[in-house]
Structure 1
Amino acid sequence: MKNVLLIASACLLGILSTVGASLPYPILPPLFANAAAGDSLTHFLGLPPKLLFAIALMVNPVGLLIGTATLGSLSDRYGRRPLLLTTALGAALGHMLTAWALAIRSYPLFLLARFCTGLLEGNGSIVRAMLAERLQGMLRNQALSWLNGSFYLGWLVGPLLAGLTIGWGLTVPFYVAAGFLLLGALLVTLALEREVKPAGAAWWQVARERHAFNLLRHPGLRTLFGVQLAYTCGVTAFYEFYPLWLVEVGHYGTRAISLANVGMCGVMTASSLVAGRQNRDDPLRRAAWLAAVVALAIATLGTGKLWIGLVGIVAFGLPHAFYNAIVQVWAADRFSDHGQGAVMGLLSTTFCLANIVMAAVGAVLTLVDTRLVLVLGALMTAWSATRMRAWARVPASDPATDPGRDGGAAQ
């Protein structure tokens, strides 16, 4: 019963932590693509609306990058409960600030609010670490897979919530998101036991000395970081710019984008329910094959054909769900000596860094053609598939040649 409550609490927190982050995806593209002249939000400093849109996409992942790089390690030190409670309450305030910025049409305040919200919503690594350290064997594999499904469900519910509530006003979805996060804070209070804060270094010293990027000193984790960064660059290019692609190619509005997102995230959520099952095949070989399929799905948008792109958008969810389940479980097993919070934080941080990189690249490429950034993303994911395939061929029994065998892990 204790494990059931733990898994249920983690999955609910996973949903709540991504609902707010995914809200702007169907809201911002129509807002900036159909910007009216003179609007201080969409024509800030006279800059092109597409450029402002790309910056608006990038600032939230910048906050996420900092949050995910430090929150996992801080929770290793100070406990999961206080960090989850603080971040949930803070993110709720961030969404309220976002709504206010939209109401007064302030682009700088909007950026600040999205940055702060991202900083505090980088708590997914804490939830993953909580499951990875308290569960074992097949149950842990399934729990991490179900948690992934909860994150995917949040990406479904957020845009769907935006589509259903946008009719009542541009700010309403963000106030609703704040309410969900307050509910998440209540859940943390009820579900997790109070933890005693240990004596020792101040939190900023722990954040500086034990952030996720410190793991890159170890060769195996450096290799994982490079492969995962290439993969997630493709994935984030897809996430960030397929809504804009739908606006330009299919003339979609917020509600239509939300429906397309429902199809994709529905497939991801359903797939995650079975993605954690045991398989005798080499995990890196399976991950490489799945990454290649993900690259193909992203590449369909490069055709510029609406129906082909829609098939690719929905189909993307199946291989991506299985890929995440495989890589997270493999990393939790292989690098557990470094601390589950730090390892899961590195995986989450890689995703955030990819968001920033592709938003910056997309800010330039979309001024020419939105398809360019999508095709580039597909190529990067395909490259990661080839690197994982090569990694899988290295003899796992030889720590000197296998980058996944981190000889310094136990130091």
Structure 2
Amino acid sequence: MNQRFLITTLCALALLSTVGASLPYPMLAPLFADGSIHGLNSFLGLPPKLLLGIALMINPLGLLIGSAVLGPLSDGFGRRRALLLTTVGAALGHLLTAAAMVMESYLLFLAARFFTGLLEGNGAVMRALVIERVKGPLRNHALSWLNGAFNLGWLVGPLLGGFTMAYGAEVPFGIAAVALLLGTLGVFLTIPATPAATHGLRWWTVARERHALTLLRHGPLRTLFIVHLGYCCGVASLYEYFPLWLVDVGGYDARQISLVNMGMCALMTTAALFAGHASLVEGRLRAGWYAAVGATAILCVGFGNLWIGIAGIVLFGVPHAFYNTALQTWSADTFADYGQGSVMALLSTIFCLANILMALLGAVLTLIDTRLVLVVGGVLAACASVALRRWSASARAVPAENEEAHQNL
């Protein structure tokens, strides 16, 4: 099929998928921390901020499992089939979430968000499609544009949640379900089926034996896991807790939080349009410098006042967009032999694991001070920056030593 048509379809689906994952973020902080009492924030008499931390964790937990298995499953059973099943299922998950909001059922809300996250872990499938079917210099641009579409979803989703919540907390989730069904129709009409490469194996066998974490048997991929996890913990600390920081520091409501998020995601999406340019600088080295700038922005939120913090939140979108494209394209080129679905799934799994870890840590630290989560996240991102640059330098030093030894012979 036409490459540009494929890119357009996948970018649209990426946007619609991320909208559903991101729309609760500006809603949840006011819902749990504005002082009102209802079924969602009074479950078992637990502190509302603790319930918020669990609510923030449960969707990434589903994403973690889905990201780990959906990419490898699509390697064997076909990308199109995986996208169709997961988008329909995620739409159903949004409808269950809407029902939980109406019933004020915290347990149903957690179950629905977990189920939705499980099936929204299909970003690795979309990235693998781009890497496999888009050739030449257009591939890096296409991957960058796909990342931009995911980023745009983080703009549209919170806006949708913040500005339609007034009509009922369930309304945004109903809209997200309809949007995903439209995305499913686009996949059905535009993406051709691929023959199954896994014959005689059941899907749960593939999921158990070939999930993304099996790649950690290999040393370079273990290193990638560690350094990328550190950076993603910084990202997760900002994504998950800047809304609560805005409530604590500035008394912001859902609409004001949505506007700050809109600034960050608008810059992130715009930067992603240009992040796929060719570069002579090695991918890990570029990613390391972008991570350093991102870490600085996160620390500005942790240590700054309201306006310095808002500037850090908004400006963070630029280095993060460039980091994603640099690291993903380098990983795709370096580890292609392991299967693009599995490699992209590993990167997605790392991000989801970081969200879970920071949600758990934040559930404790916010009981002391919300800024502590952001400071810890910024420090971890800074450590990842140093590690990436050292890894790049050590890799460049080995060929130089080999060349010198050859000359001495």
TM-score tier, shorter chain, comes to over 0.9
2 CA distance for matches of 1:108 and 1:168?
23
- CA-atom RMSD in angstroms: 1.4
Gaps of 5+ in 2: 403-409
* Secondary structure of 2:274 counterpart: helix
- What's the TM-score once normalised by structure 2's chain length? 0.96
5 Å-filtered alignment, 1:152-231, equals 152-197=151-196, 199-231=199-231
2 CA distance for matches of 1:22 and 1:395?
37
1 CA distance for matches of 2:193 and 2:137?
28
Match of 1:52 in 2: 51
Q: Once the 2 structures are TM-superposed, how far is the Cα of residue 73 of structure 1 from its aligned partner?
A: 0.3
Residue identity opposite 1:203 in structure 2:
W
2 CA distance for matches of 1:163 and 1:301?
22
Q: Once the 2 structures are TM-superposed, how far is the Cα of residue 396 of structure 1 from its aligned partner?
A: 4.1
5 Å-filtered alignment, 1:65-76, equals 65-76=64-75
CA contact (8 A) 2:54 2:360 kept: yes
Residue identity opposite 2:327 in structure 1:
V
2 CA distance for matches of 1:339 and 1:221?
13
Match of 2:364 in 1: 364
Q: Deviations over 1:315-359 (max 9, x none)?
A: 000000000010000000000000000000000000000000000
CA contact (8 A) 1:249 1:304 kept: no
Match of 1:32 in 2: 32
Match of 1:143 in 2: 142
Q: Does the alignment pair 1:333 with 2:333?
A: yes
5 Å-filtered alignment, 1:274-289, equals 274-289=274-289
Match of 1:111 in 2: 110
Match of 1:312 in 2: 312
2 CA distance for matches of 1:35 and 1:6?
47
* Secondary structure of 2:36 counterpart: coil
Q: Once the 2 structures are TM-superposed, how far is the Cα of residue 196 of structure 1 from its aligned partner?
A: 4.2
Q: Once the 2 structures are TM-superposed, how far is the Cα of residue 137 of structure 1 from its aligned partner?
A: 3.0
2 CA distance for matches of 1:36 and 1:263?
29
CA contact (8 A) 1:159 1:258 kept: yes
CA contact (8 A) 2:78 2:193 kept: no
Gaps of 5+ in 1: 403-411
* Secondary structure of 2:395 counterpart: coil
What is the aligned length?
A: 400
Match of 1:295 in 2: 295
1 CA distance for matches of 2:290 and 2:199?
45
CA contact (8 A) 2:302 2:375 kept: yes
Match of 1:266 in 2: 266
* Secondary structure of 1:394 counterpart: helix
* Secondary structure of 1:310 counterpart: helix
Deviates more, 1:313-322 or 1:1-10: 1-10
Q: Does the alignment pair 1:99 with 2:95?
A: no
Q: Deviations over 1:354-378 (max 9, x none)?
A: 0000000000000000000000000
Match of 2:342 in 1: 342
Deviates more, 1:297-306 or 1:204-213: 297-306
1 CA distance for matches of 2:193 and 2:320?
36
Residue identity opposite 2:63 in structure 1:
L
2 CA distance for matches of 1:87 and 1:35?
37
2 CA distance for matches of 1:79 and 1:283?
29
- What's the TM-score once normalised by structure 1's chain length? 0.95
1 CA distance for matches of 2:66 and 2:91?
15
CA contact (8 A) 2:303 2:375 kept: no
Question: Structure 1 residues 397 and 301 mapped into 2: Cα distance closer, same or farther (>3 Å)?
Answer: closer
Q: Does the alignment pair 1:123 with 2:128?
A: no
Match of 2:234 in 1: 234
Q: Once the 2 structures are TM-superposed, how far is the Cα of residue 398 of structure 1 from its aligned partner?
A: 4.4
5 Å-filtered alignment, 1:250-261, equals 250-261=250-261
Match of 2:23 in 1: 23
